[in-house]
Amino acid sequence: MKPFGQEIGLVSTTALKRIYYRSFGMPDVRFQLSFQNIMHTIKDISFERVMDVGCGGGLITVIFAKMFPRCKITGIDKDELAIINANIIASEIGVKNVEFICTDVEDAPLGNNYDLVLCINVLQFIREPDSLIKEMNHALKDGGYVIIHVPSFPLKSFMLRFKPFKYRISDFKETRRGFTETEMRTFLNNSGFYIDKIEPMLKGPSIASRELQYIIRSVHPKLNLFFYPILQAVTTFDINYKIPANMLSIAASKR
């Protein structure tokens, strides 16, 4: 599978950046693993209308739209600046089948008749995650799918156990630290979903790579460009680890 975010190289301002992005994609360990998991999960799903709930700056949304030009993709986020940036990225890359809406997913209805809803690393910021899961069910057609990524609880950490490293990490302002598998199963079952799979993401090597990336960025953002290919290579060793994961990937269909 090609690296996530190679398309950013099309709009990079320097030849060196264009070469870098085309070679390695977006230099972000978590984004790469999330994108790879999404692509693996949807390989047997057919869809025409897709919603990305809590799309942020729209990177996943835009690349998804470019990969599936016959689909209509809608990204929703309450951060006005993030939506502006998402529209800029879509325009620069030349993606026409995507739209972005600035609204608070906790307060506004999500619409309806979607075939697929993505909710990637969003629920930990939501005051009432069960309510949003129910709203995502309402937004789907019968038999439609939702893909959810959430941090698992208890969270596993390596470098961030140590105060000198932990203080370098920004406060992401989550409303909670993570979710148990039992809790997510209860939310989805009570919201009218049939759970197809719940699988672990970000095990030992990937957790260490992600935390190292946070620390490296805090020293100087450009250092990340140098170290990222090494950090991404380390994540391939996840398959050898049986320890609990740092994240859960969930696929569920509307009953």
192-202 pLDDT, tens per residue?
999 999 998 88
Q: pLDDT of 95-146, one tens digit each?
A: 999 999 999 999 888 889 999 999 999 999 999 999 999 999 999 999 999 9
pTM over 0.85: yes
Cβ within 8 Å of residue 175, ≥6 positions away:
124, 125, 126, 127
Cα separation, 78 vs 105, whole angstroms: 7
> Which domains are assigned to the chain?
30-254 (3.40.50.150)
Give kind and range of the element (H or E) at residue 221: helix 221-234
**Which residue stretches of 101-220 are H helix?**
129-139, 163-166, 181-190, 204-219
Cβ within 8 Å of residue 249, ≥6 positions away:
37, 41, 147, 148, 149, 197, 198, 199, 200, 201
User: CA angle 106-112-117, nearest 5°?
Assistant: 70
